[in-house]
Chains A and B, each alone.
Chain A
Amino acid sequence: MRKPMKKMLVTAAVALSALTAGVAAIAADAEEHPPHRHWHFQGPFGTYDRAAAQRGYQVYAEVCAACHSLQLLAYRNLEELGLTENQVKGLIKDIQIPDLNDDGQPIERPARPSDRFKRPFPNEAAAAAANNGKAPPDLSVIVKAREGGPDYIYGILTGYVPYDKLTPEQIKAFSVTKDDNFNKYFPGHKIGMPPPLGDDKVTYADGTKATTDQEASDVVEFLAWASEPHMEARKRTGVRVILFLLAMAGFLYAVKRMVWADKH
């Protein structure tokens, strides 16, 4: 009885592994993925690059904020990037926030650090109406909300291909017209957002040269922080917790060995 069984088993195992191998080969195909970049906040000890994130805020405020909200953040949160309260107040001094006065009448007043980031449009319908029918996504957790995270956001910001640089095959395959924005990394390639960044789109106060790549990597650093402001605390706590658990496991192992010494 055992021989045919073994044969069956081997056949089953071979069939299964062949199938899995075939599937893995298919899964590895197609679509261009944004290249992997090194980010300051990666790895078990990575932290946010404060200078880059502050520059990134500038890019957000001067470029992205025209269309994208960041509604889960308050201006006071910027202090976590190393700014003082007065610096934050300085940054927001020209921003007017809609509010109600004591008589219940709608007014605009200067922004306070406790205010949430001002939304560029009063509501989603207005945002959609101003942007060809589709509201630009809120950016508060955008780095966590996309496959590929920071690499993907960076890829989108730098992945535009002008119409005259496209191959005839690309134009045909994705039916691109002169009015479309073609992005290498966007699923389907036609993206509503026109290329947002360009060389010297902003002027950095710290003298950093504002190339498109620099702006993109700075704003990704800022948005990564916005998506998870407590990441550094998480990693710091994690190191302590794991060191504690390692010590506890070692201690318990020693006790277990002692207890079992007479039984093995």
Chain B
Amino acid sequence: MASSHGTPPVFNNKVIAWIDHRLPIFSYIEKEYHTFPTPRNFNYFWNFGAIATVMLVLMIVTGIVLATNYTPHVTMAFDSVERIMRDVPSGWLIRYLHMTGASFFFIAVYIHIFRGMYYGSYKAPRELLWILGVIILLLMMATAFMGYVLPWGQMSFWGATVITSLFGAIPVVGDSIVTWLWGGFAIDNPTLNRFFALHYLLPFVIVAVVALHVVALHVHGSNNPLGIDPKGPQDTVPFHPYYTMKDGFGVAVFLIIYAGFAFFAPDSLGDPANYIPANPLVTPTHIVPEWYFLPFYAILRAVPDKLGGVLAMFGSIGVLFILPWLDTSRVRSCTFRPIYKWFMLVLVIDVFVLGYCGANPPEGYFVPLSQVATLYYFFHFLILLPVLGKIERPLPLPPSIADAVLKKKAG
């Protein structure tokens, strides 16, 4: 793929030619975002990488503006956020975009991950590309968690309490680690201060890992819905204008839904209790994280043992790191995997069930339900996936992308 980029471009503009001769940024853009050969058969699932990138930029821009008006101090943080909402010109707009943006960033990334799993994008030679993506997910989770602490509402404080206490489950050194994380013997001003510093830092680390993710992507190019490699120019189109325009359209549609929430239901995705200032003496009846953490929260609570729960929760992400090697099927795309594609659907349902359990108090039926769903989650990755790859008989693959596309058009 990389070898088919063709001859280096010639720039007529003298300034551009001068710069490019010394620092080939224009050649790079030309090669990677213009002529870059891209499979011609993407469906709209392939928009979500671009959408996630747009959301990342949007979060950083709104975040920097918020940071210029926010005060990371336990006695002032809550009021400074409300001051942004009330007195800073258009502060409400920036804060709602940031707050709702976190949710929509996760929506985009979760769909992006689903697409990678359904179409087998993690398989050779894209294992590192996938692993970098899982690292981005972990960084996003850390960033989102610390960002949620900053308004210093009840859920901020108690969410931070629950999550940081998890490290106390580590044998021997657990308590020391928790004290070290807190910067003291309780969650207090040092904790808030460092969370603010890290919440500002990590997004730029994410940008760096995204850059690596894109570099890795451009070595072998994108996977596609058929999961077969392009065999020649008839199977691909230049990235620009074909996919710049298609991504542009996808981004615009996504932004419409995002704007719908940000402007007409900004608080619907959050917990009302976070509009109550943090109070270390009053524990909320139900401590719940933001919706995008609920499946993992359910896994944490499904295991009766604290350390076991922590391991299961981290394991649920950890298992994604080895996904490329757990899947033993020769075929990438679920389009040609008649059995696995249904199990992919069951996994999605399972994750929704976990999310539903995570949103409810761990009592009554939710306990066995979350345990069954947790077991199924690990069963899917650790047992089903390796076994199914061996025994499933995939459908015949089309000879080429162009062949499949043109046949579909004719039929």
Contact = CB atoms under 8 A, between A and B. Distances in A.
A1 B93 contact: no
B272 A249 contact: no
Contact of B82 (A72, A146, A239, A249): A72
Given A16-B350, A72-B86, A141-B82, A242 B256 contact: yes
Interface stretch (A22-30, A84-92, A96-104, A167-175): A22-30
Contact of B252 (A1, A146, A245): A245
Interface string A246-259: 10110011011001
A2 B338 contact: yes
A132 interface: no
A5 B384 CA distance: 11
A178 interface: no
A22 B241 contact: no
B6 interface: no
A165 interface: no
B326 interface: no
Interface stretch (A52-60, A211-219, A226-234): A226-234
B242 A263 contact: yes
B257 to A, nearest CB: 10
A144 B262 CA distance: 15
Nearest to A1: B391
Contacts of B237: 263
A13 B241 CA distance: 43
Contacts of A147: 272
B292 interface: no
A2 B392 CA distance: 7
B273 A234 contact: no
Interface in A1-57: 1-2, 5-6, 9, 12-13, 16, 19-20, 22-23, 26-27, 44
A32 B273 CA distance: 20
A19 B372 contact: yes
A147 B393 CA distance: 51
Interface in B343-379: 343, 346, 349-350, 353, 356-357, 360, 364-366, 369, 372-373, 376
A263 B40 contact: yes
B107 interface: no
A256 B249 contact: yes
Contacts of A9: 339, 342-343, 346
Given A9-B343, A242-B259, A230 B86 contact: yes
Contacts of B339: 2, 5-6, 9
Contact of A235 (B86, B249, B264, B360): B264
B245 A255 contact: yes
Contact of A12 (B249, B263, B346): B346
A245 B263 CA distance: 13
A237 interface: yes
Contact of B365 (A23, A149, A237): A23
A20 to B, nearest CB: 6
Interface of B: 40, 79, 82, 85-86, 92-93, 96, 237, 241-242, 245-246, 248-249, 252-253, 255-256, 259-260, 262-264, 266-267, 272-273, 275-276, 285, 338-339, 342-343, 346, 349-350, 353, 356-357, 360, 364-366, 369, 372-373, 376, 388, 391-393, 409
Interface of A: 1-2, 5-6, 9, 12-13, 16, 19-20, 22-23, 26-27, 44, 72, 77, 137, 140-141, 144-147, 149, 187, 227-230, 233-235, 237-239, 241-242, 245-246, 248-249, 252-253, 255-256, 259-260, 263-264
17 contacts: A1-B392, A16-B349, A16-B373, A19-B353, A26-B365, A27-B360, A44-B264, A147-B272, A230-B92, A237-B93, A238-B263, A242-B259, A242-B263, A249-B249, A252-B249, A256-B245, A256-B249
